[in-house]
Amino acid sequence: MDFLYISLAYKYVMLTLMLAEVNHAVGKLEIPNWQPITFAQVETYNISAPRIRAGGSLDTTNGVFGFGENMLQFMQWPEPNSNLPLRERQKCWSKLESQVDTNGAYQLATGWLTKLDVDISALENKHPVSVMQQFFYPGGDINLPPVLLPRFEVRWGKNPSLPAVWVSVFGPTKTPLFIRQEDGSFIRRPELIKPEAVENLLSITNADFVNWRPMQRSNLVMQSAGNVYQTFFSPDGLPDVKASEHKRIEPVTDSTQMKFPAKKTKTLPAAKRD
C-alpha cells in the first residue's frame, strides 16, 4: 500500500471541504467586513497524504488556514500595518486605543473558541490559562519604560512558549489575529472528511475522475463530508484539477442540480513568540 498516495478525487474533495470549513468557522466568528472566500482567492495550498494524516493548508488573500487531524486548527489573518517593519508597526499600534483589557481579551478568546466548538471546560481543566499584553521599547533601550501595545496573547498551557491553544487579540478592533490549536483534542466539531470515505476517494483513478461531470463531483463531495454546509466552492480551475466549469456548488435535493466556482495569496509572516 502506498501511504503517500493522494488521488485527484481525494484532493478535489479535501480542497472543497477545507474551504467550506474555513467559511463556516470565520462566519461563526462574525469578523467585521468578512466575505466568504472562493477558490479565486486561493493562491497556494497543501494536501497531506490521508493514509498518514488527513490535513492540509490554504494560503488565501484573506488569511492562512491550517488543518490537522481532519479538522481546522489554525487561522491567521494579516496584521494591521503588516507592510511596515516590526518596529514601525509597533509604533503605529502604540498610538491606538485598545477597546479591551486583559480580562476582555480573555472573554473574547473564549467566546471565539466556543463558537468554534471548543470545549473550554475540558481545555482549562487540563491546561492553565495566561493572558499577556504585548509591549515594546520605543528606542530599543530596555532600561527605558516599556510601552504597552493594544495586542493581547491568550494562551492555554503550562509552558507559555509552547501553548496547547493560543489566541492573539487585537484590542482596537476586538478581532483575532490568529487562533492556533496545537492540541485539537478539545474541538468537538465532526471530522472534515468521513474516515470511511478516504479509501473510496483514493480508489478513483485520476484518468476517470477528470472525465466526471459536475453533478458526479458534487455528489462525491456531499457523500464524503463529515459536516453539513450551506454552500460549497469547487476547486475546478486549479492547475492540477482540470475541469471546464468554474461555478458555485449549492447543496441540492434530488430534484435540484448542484452547480459548481473558480480560482488566487499571500503568505503571512509567522507569529513571533514572546
- What's the pLDDT tens digit per position in 31-54? 888 889 999 999 999 999 999 999
Q: What is the domain count for the chain?
A: 2
Same domain membership, residue 211 and residue 136: no
Residue 236: predicted pLDDT = 83
Same domain membership, residue 166 and residue 130: yes
Same domain membership, residue 158 and residue 98: yes
Q: What angle do CA 190, 131, 168 make, to 5 degrees?
A: 55
What contacts 148, CB < 8 A, 6 or more positions away? Answer: 94, 133, 134, 135
What contacts 222, CB < 8 A, 6 or more positions away? Answer: 251, 258
DSSP alpha helix (H) spans, the chain: 8-29, 86-94, 102-115, 120-126, 198-203, 206-209, 214-224
In a domain, 165, yes or no: yes
Residue labelled with grid coordinates 467585521: 32
- What's the pLDDT tens digit per position in 80-122? 999 999 889 999 999 999 999 999 999 999 999 999 999 999 9
Among candidate residues 186, 202, 232, the one where a domain is terminated:
186
Residue 206: predicted pLDDT = 96
Residue 18: predicted pLDDT = 97
Give the separation between CA 42 and CA 238, rounded to whole angstroms. Answer: 9
Q: Which of 30-34, 66-70, 241-245, 254-258 has the lowest mean pLDDT?
A: 254-258
Closest CA to 252 of 215, 211, 201, 197: 215
Residue 176: predicted pLDDT = 98
Same domain membership, residue 167 and residue 96: yes
Same domain membership, residue 109 and residue 44: no
Helical packing angle, 102-115 and 8-29, nearest 10°:
140
In a domain, 129, yes or no: yes
Q: What is the mean pLDDT of residues 15-38?
A: 94
Between these two residues, 179 and 236, which has the higher pLDDT value? 179
Same domain membership, residue 238 and residue 205: yes
The grid cell for 157 is 498551557
- What's the pLDDT tens digit per position in 121-152? 999 999 999 999 999 988 777 788 899 999 99
In a domain, 255, yes or no: no
Residue 242: predicted pLDDT = 59
Q: Which DSSP helix (H) or strand (E) runs through 249?
A: strand 248-249
Among candidate residues 142, 168, 186, the one where a domain is terminated:
186
Helical packing angle, 214-224 and 8-29, nearest 10°:
60
pTM: 0.85
**Rg of the chain over CA atoms, in angstroms?**
21
Q: What angle do CA 90, 92, 94 make, to 5 degrees?
A: 70
- What's the pLDDT tens digit per position in 182-217? 999 999 999 999 999 999 999 999 999 999 999 999
In a domain, 163, yes or no: yes
Question: 21: helix, coil or strand?
Answer: helix
What is the percent of the chain where pLDDT is above 90? 76
130 residue type, one letter: S
In a domain, 45, yes or no: yes
Phi, psi dihedrals of residue 217, rounded to the nearest 5°: -65, -45
In a domain, 262, yes or no: no
Same domain membership, residue 169 and residue 83: yes
In a domain, 267, yes or no: no
Residue 258 confidence class, pLDDT cut points 50, 70, 90 = very low
Give the separation between CA 216 and CA 219, rounded to whole angstroms. Answer: 5
Same domain membership, residue 126 and residue 85: yes
Same domain membership, residue 176 and residue 133: yes
In a domain, 91, yes or no: yes
The grid cell for 195 is 474516515
Query: Virtual CA dihedral for 62, 43, 13, 254, nearest 10 degrees?
Result: 60
Same domain membership, residue 173 and residue 98: yes
Among candidate residues 148, 164, 186, the one where a domain is terminated:
186
Residue 10: predicted pLDDT = 97
Domain enclosing residue 243, as ranges? 8-24+39-51+193-249
Same domain membership, residue 129 and residue 104: yes
Q: Is 238's pLDDT higher than 60? A: yes
Q: Is 73's pLDDT higher than 70? A: yes
Same domain membership, residue 218 and residue 149: no
